[in-house]
Chains A and B, each alone.
Chain A
Amino acid sequence: MPRILAVDIPGNKKLPYALRYIYGIGPTLAKEIVEASGLDEDRRAKDLTEEEINKLAEIIIERGIRTEGDLRREVTGNIKRLIAIQCNRGIRHRRSLPVRGQRTKTNARTRKGKAKAIAGKKK
């Protein structure tokens, strides 16, 4: 399995799809990167030569695209800031409730976690 940017090991998929296994690279960026590299987008990630892998990595770095650790750190930093300034969004993060105004009467299970049964609640 090839490695791009030291950590990521995209599978034996076509290039635009393989690149998406890197945290911070989605469909659009992946496609742009492949196009910029001039590589054939039908090639599989495993048949790339060292040189071609370096080229892809170079493009990602050159464009200042934040990936993996850097990006994760930025995101948690942003959330920390929201919590520190005591704004509504920060409070929603702290209480792990939805942040963007969704309803919480029902649903919102992704943020709230698995439903807890409430004793004695019938009809």
Chain B
Amino acid sequence: MSRSVKKGFYVDPGLWKKVIKAQETDDRRPIKTWSRRSLITPEFVGLNIDVYNGKQFLPVHVTENMVGHRLGEFSLTRTFRGHAGSNKK
């Protein structure tokens, strides 16, 4: 079920402050964050965000198309290296 409109969008408050500041100062250094649940708003466009996947920070460059998705969607948490013994056809 999608989020109630009444509540508005969710962005981690700490991350939000950093994003606004980065946009004001035109600072393109990556912002590290653990907040995978934060929604990408138009303010994020053009920034580099390092999103934690439980192990490391994966760099995400935010483009216009990504608005409306959440940060976690771009930082995969699983590694799949194929099944044992399937040595490719």
Cα(A89)–Cα(B66), bound, Å = 12
Q: A86 on the interface (CB 8 Å rule)?
A: yes
- Contact: B76 with A85, CB < 8 Å? no
With A118-B86, A120-B85 as contacts: A88 and B76 at CB distance below 8 Å? yes
Indicate if A91 sits at the interface (CB-CB under 8 A): yes
Q: How far is the CB of A39 from chain B (nearest CB, A)?
A: 36
| A interface SS class | loop
CB distance from B88 to the nearest CB of A (A): 13
B-to-A contact residues, CB < 8 Å = 63, 65-66, 69, 72-74, 76, 83, 85-86
Interface size range on A against B? 10 to 19
> Which residues of chain B have C-beta atoms less than 8 A from A118's C-beta?
83, 85-86
Top-3 shortest CB links A-B: A87-B73, A85-B65, A88-B73
A88–B65 touching, CB < 8 Å? no
Q: Give the distance to chain B from A66, nearest Cβ to Cβ, in Å.
A: 20
Cβ of A84 and Cβ of B73 under 8 Å apart?
Answer: no
Residues of chain A with a CB closer than 8 A to B73's CB: 87-89
Cα A14 to Cα B39 with chains together (Å): 46
The answer to whether A87 touches B69 (Cβ under 8 A) is: yes
Which B residues touch A86, using CB under 8 A?
Answer: 74
A87 contacts which of B74, B83, B85, B86 (Cβ < 8 Å)?
B74
Would you list 15 pairs from A and B whose C-beta atoms are within 8 A, ordered by A residue? A85-B63, A85-B65, A85-B66, A85-B69, A85-B74, A87-B66, A87-B69, A87-B73, A88-B72, A88-B73, A88-B74, A88-B76, A91-B76, A118-B83, A118-B85
When distances are taken between beta carbons in the complex, the residues of chain A under 8 Å from B76 are 88, 91
Tell me the smallest distance from the CB of A2 to a CB of chain B, in Å: 39
Given A81-B65, A84-B65, A85-B74, 15 further pairs, Cβ under 8 A? A85-B63, A85-B65, A85-B66, A87-B66, A87-B69, A87-B73, A88-B72, A88-B73, A88-B76, A89-B73, A91-B76, A118-B83, A118-B85, A118-B86, A120-B85
Cα–Cα, bound, A118→B86 (Å)? 8
